[in-house]
């Protein structure tokens, strides 16, 4: 009887855990409009995670502007917010025309977005546009911004790609808290060609080729020290990534980017995320 009781208790526990994970994955996280109170903590991974103690990125018109604020996707871990502000100031200090245009970060408590991304769930991702406007955008332009592709076919579009975009990307990649940056393969190729052989090329390893990412680059920070429940990314291969790995993309259609589709969460979220979602 004791064995049966223990098995029954274990079954109930597993059932409850599964239900919590399922609830957090099914729920519409975009409807949760405020962050969860408490110390900042990243939970889970960029593709299956959530965020406690998120901070909003409020625009600084002279350094950066937050695009599509009506989406309420301008939240992140404090380290992510700091990174954006520091990058914007560094770019301004080098005379890079601005303000920087900042796309999606995360929702107030992270979690899956209904459309546009499979990642951006745990507060460590941020999209930064390559478009560098000579002056701040109007409110109407901010709410419905027009992206500019840096790629045509399989090559850089020389009409739009300039040393300013290249330098901005390098500044981001050299930041020690950055784990990796997703860019169109043509942009990775351009950066590989422009960086002298024999010099410091280690930062190029952080530039990871991926479909789309011709209008913006997608920065992902490493797990911060205050977040033991953050799932670390797999280590990247050694080297600068400019050889066979990059060449393998030459036969793949990477531009134009496909239209965004509704996101279907394939991985269950950590149990702790269900608790954050239920708090409303």
pLDDT at 1 (0 to 100): 43
Tens-place pLDDT, residues 134-172: 999 999 999 999 999 999 988 899 999 999 999 999 999
Domain residue limits, the chain: 2-260+268-278
Q: Which CATH number fits domain 2-260+268-278: 3.30.1380.10, 2.120.10.10, 3.40.309.10, 3.30.420.40?
A: 3.30.1380.10
Angle CA 243–248–253, to nearest 5: 135
Please report the pLDDT score of residue 249 as a whole number: 84
Contact 171, 91 (CB under 8 A): yes
* pLDDT tens readout for residues 18-38: 444 434 555 799 999 999 999
C-alpha span between 60 and 63 (Å, rounded): 5
Once rounded to an integer, what is the mean pLDDT over residues 229-238?
94
Residue 95 neighbours by CB under 8 Å, 6+ apart? none
CB 243 within 8 A of CB 195: no
Element (H, E) at 171: helix 163-174
pLDDT tens track for 42-73: 999 999 999 999 999 998 878 999 999 999 99
């Amino acid at each position: 009887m004791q064995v049966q009781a223990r098995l029954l208790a274990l079954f109930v526990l597993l059932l409850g855990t599964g239900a919590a994970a399922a609830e957090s994955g099914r729920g519409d996280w975009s409807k949760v409009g405020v962050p969860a109170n408490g110390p900042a903590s990243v939970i889970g991974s960029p593709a299956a995670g959530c965020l406690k103690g998120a901070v909003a990125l409020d625009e600084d018109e002279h350094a950066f502007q937050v695009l599509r604020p009506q989406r309420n996707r301008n939240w992140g871990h404090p380290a992510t917010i700091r990174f954006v502000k520091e990058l914007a100031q560094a770019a301004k200090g080098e005379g890079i025309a601005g303000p920087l245009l900042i796309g999606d970060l995360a929702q107030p408590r992270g979690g899956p977005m209904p459309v546009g991304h499979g990642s951006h769930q745990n507060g460590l991702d941020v999209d930064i546009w390559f478009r560098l406007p000579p002056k701040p955008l109007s409110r109407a332009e901010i709410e419905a911004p027009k992206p500019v592709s840096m790629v045509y076919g399989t090559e850089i579009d020389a009409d739009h790609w300039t040393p300013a975009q290249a330098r901005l990307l390098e500044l981001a990649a050299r930041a020690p808290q950055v784990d990796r940056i997703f860019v169109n393969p043509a942009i990775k190729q351009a950066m590989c060609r422009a960086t002298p052989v024999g010099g410091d090329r280690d930062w190029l390893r952080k530039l990871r080729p991926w479909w789309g990412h011709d209008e913006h680059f997608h920065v992902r920070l490493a797990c911060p020290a205050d977040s033991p429940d953050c799932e670390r990314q797999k280590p990247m291969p050694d080297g600068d990534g400019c050889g066979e790995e990059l060449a393998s993309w030459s036969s793949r259609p990477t531009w134009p980017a496909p239209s965004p589709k509704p996101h279907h969460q394939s991985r269950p979220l950590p149990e702790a995320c269900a608790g954050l979602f239920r708090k409303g």
